Each structure stands twice: as C-alpha cells, then as structure tokens.
Amino acid sequence: MKKLLCAIFIICFGINNAVAEEVLTFPIYVHIVEIDQNIKQTQYKVDSNDKVTSSSIKMVPYKTSVTKEIIKKDFLKLNKIWSQANIRFHIRDINFTKSETKNFKKYGELAFKNYDSYSYIDTSLRHLLEIIDHKRHDNERGINAYYVPTMLADICGAWDNDNNIMIIGSSEEKKFNPIVKLYGKCNRIETLAHEFGHTVQLDHSDISQNLMMSTGLDVDMGTNLTKEQIIEARKFMKKVLGK
C-alpha cells in the first residue's frame, strides 16, 4: 500500500510541475515550394540480398504534394512531441512560393561540404540550395520552414542556422539507400520535430530513442528529449523571445 501511494504522489507531482512551466511559443512561417517537374535521379536495382546489381539515371516526377491541411496536421503532431518541453511552434502563415533557378552552386558547396560521400547528388539538391540562396534575408520575424518534394537520397530535412531556414522533404516514399544498403523512408513529423530541435540550438545526441539522434533512413530516431535538452531549448527560446 505504501508503495502505491508513493507512485501516485510522484505522478501527481510530475504533472503539477509540468503545468507550472510557462508555454513558450515560436512564430513559424511555412512556405510550400511549388515545384512540379521531372528531374534526374539515380534509381537502383537490387537482388534478393539487397546488393545493388545496377543503377541508372532516370527522369522522375518531382512535385510538392502537401496541402495547407496536411501541414496544419503536421504541426499538431509536432507540437505534441514538443509539449514535453512546453514549447510550441505556432504557424503564423502558410503560403505558396515559387522556386527560382540562379546563383545556388557556390552556396551549395558551402552548405554541403561535409557530405563527401554524396557523389550521386542529383538535381533535387539544386532546388534546396536555390531556396536558401533566394530567401536568405527573409527571416526577420520568425522561423521559415520550406516544404519541398523530397530531399537528397538520405537526408530528410535540413536546418540552416545562419538564415533561420528549415527545409523539409514532404515525401515519405520508401527508397533504397546505396550507402547503408537499406530501404528506408523519411518520417516527416519526426524530421520536423528534429529540425525544430536544431532551431532551438540543440546538437545531435547518441542516446537511443532521442529526438536529436542523427540517423539514416533506416533507424527510427525516437521523440524523447532529456531534461538537459529541455532546459537548454527553453533557455534559448526565452533569450530569443526576450523573456
């Protein structure tokens, strides 16, 4: 009986403690990047052991297929994950934006210089980089999140700290990753939640099932945050929000 009472006390205390913490809200501007064209992409053929037998470059459809309704639902799920830190990402606006093609190459080299192994970078990358280049000064009032069709073969989302810009692939299609030799897909909600972790200045974590794990497509990274991460994220947000 004593043990039961103690457990109840701890649970109640936990809940009360969470409620007492002020909810911190970040303004978010969502842009659906209107892309609807065919692009070059490497397609892999594999045998029964998932060994690549051949690869070929094909023209495939590259189209942003999310709607405002889908994005609103994404943010409901995203905010559920972040409620463990009493942090909320509030959509101020969702608009459609055109992608323009100019001046992206140099910035691309800078942004992706650490990804040496990506020798098969295809034209989809160009769209991502041109968005960063085109919108780099449009970040005065909050975080800009850009929905594109899909990202590089094994990147699901990206955060550009210098320009307050997040890019997220909207496709959750399963595909073959030739580097880790596995099939996988991006989980859009977990990717969004992870990238927003970077927006509040959290680094990657090795802890299993942690939201900030940096994993490939094959591993479910989880949605947990540690006490330390929550403290760090809230501290940063309070600073930004002037609290």
Q: Where on the chain is the footprint of Zn ion (CB under 5 A)?
A: 214
Q: How far is the CB of 214 from Zn ion (least distance, A)?
A: 5
Copy the structure tokens of residue 134.
């085109």
CA angle 31, 160, 92 (to 5 degrees): 35
Is 94:74 a contact under the CB 8 Å cutoff?
no
Copy the structure tokens of residue 100.
């323009």
Rounded distance between C-alpha atoms, residue 123 and residue 140, angstroms: 29
Nearest to 226 by CA among 241, 242, 211, 239: 211
E-assigned strands of 17-164? 24-34, 36-46, 52-63, 87-98, 143-148, 157-160
Q: How far is the CB of 204 from Zn ion (least distance, A)?
A: 6
Rounded distance between C-alpha atoms, residue 31 and residue 94, angstroms: 6
**Positive or negative: CA dihedral 186, 190, 196, 197:** negative
Rounded distance between C-alpha atoms, residue 114 and residue 117, angstroms: 9
**For residues 203-212, b (16+ Cβ closer than 10 Å) or e, as one string?**
eebeeeebbb
Distance separating the N- and C-terminal Cα atoms of the chain: 44
Please identify, using beta-carbon distances, which residue of 101 and 214 lies nearer to Zn ion: 214
Is 173:156 a contact under the CB 8 Å cutoff?
no
